[in-house]
Structure 1
């Protein structure tokens, strides 16, 4: 009689990558990038967002001169930025063709330069080529320098769903060059601050207090203050990835996605006219009010959160949050909860607030209370406009 036999495989992989904070990374006297590459006779392909080439007109020559000085073969592809790159199969094919044409292998490098969407798309191509080539990210927005660019995920959109296709692929390194932030418009400068507010609200009350005290400096585009904000925000994100015990999200909890279930759906419903960080700010406001309406968060803390957001110039309400009568939550937005659950791959888990700096996971969102939260934001928004 046949007797079943089993072999259980178990292994651990020790992985690390550096997040470097610098200025003018492609100036020939800056050694940060070449010290990361190290290997002789390395091959490099560079994917750069078109707007970076426009607003930094010397960047292509700087990149070419940098690698020529260090005798590194390189090839550059310019791609469009924004969320549309993640909806475009053609651009992914272009990046894969670049990798193929230049005979890039697992010991070669793809350097992605741009905002979060470009890093996501180029990172996805790097992850699926040869089952993974070395990716160096050079984020160029506040949002990507303090959040998405320092994490371990890549993705593109599919079936009308944000990040439906993607991988967990840690980068080889991340280089945050604050000089790229100088040419951001005010919307993109502000947008990334919402991710700092998010992580502060669930992990670090002192950091939230610091942000609230520095809204004026941030609005005035004080670079030193922004660099400090980005460093602390990136540090909190990296600490969570390294110490939470679930860097590849095998469970059904994503605490760093506080405010994001509504944000992702709002982005989609607006045709991505609402920037990710702007949508996150609205999602933070909505979930903070919901926390208050369910007795978790006191009103003083709620008002501090809403004041911080509005002092920075964020909208805390969007017409797409409500139905046509503005009396209930938009059913299409509410549907985003199920899509969020599906994306997590388990039971619905949403982060709410028990206080500034303290989060609490819940597994059900009551539609009636959510509608009340929307009404609260409508009234708050009216008062702000007056």
Structure 2
């Protein structure tokens, strides 16, 4: 094995010394929350240190980092001056050395209760979904990371079969399709994941993925090759698997499975447990879904050929009402935001079996909702 020369060894040590990881936490503005929390992470010791808290308009509940990792964006339930009845979006620059946030600008989201934000991989567009008003907004991302003037806004219309939760459209999560001009948005109120295409500065609906009536699609994730989409269905505590071909405007459901154990699912109602977040492991071999009420992560093995799922059990989240959770990009651990118990739990992950093991590492954060882990 080749040995490093003293010069290269010194360079490697210096680069390693400056390498750092950062956790950004979005919260609801309750129980003393100070907004967005910034923690440095020491991987060797599985320890976190609070670096900064940043105030925004009310409830910076969802966060996104730009592909170049130089900017962070938050959706806020609170409005801006002149637009008090709508939500807002904040942009921050990320300090290259400290990962601290500095506010660049804040703009109205032009909708009620923004709940999700995404940036396309070319860093041209910022997509915002609004649960309360059932609309989506598209903003250009300027070269300096600031949010530009509104490019387009789309209002969904309609309803579905659940009169309490689907009386109107509720646009929940939103994601760009990598290496394309398409983006997807899940509408819980319509039982659809709509596929949009950017034509200039206009968002045009191309087609829709239809889920089972009353399922309430909330969050979703895409396979690395973009062949499959996995949809977390809030109202029925299920996850459905669909093929996806945006350019060919083709889709089809191939599987639908419960996120709950049989003994619990038999007695489940909307008031007992509802699905929240969903993520694939970095290698794409396992899928995880959070269950609020059952307070667990459902674990599935993914068939690499056809994308179908095999249940592999459940892991308690060590807290109540798990919302968003974050997968370590290296696949070594999972962080879970437990909204109602004000804690973020840390789990070691077996990359061969997909199973999770609780640890003694835990963060106390008021009403944590969204977790973003950034590696420098």
* Common fold: TM-score over 0.5: no
Higher Cα radius of gyration? 1
Question: Relative contact order (C-alpha < 8 Å, sep 6+): which is higher?
Answer: 1
TM-score under structure 2 normalisation?
0.27
Give the number of the structure whose residues are more often helix, by fraction: 1
TM-score under structure 1 normalisation?
0.27
Give the number of the structure whose residues are more often strand, by fraction: 2
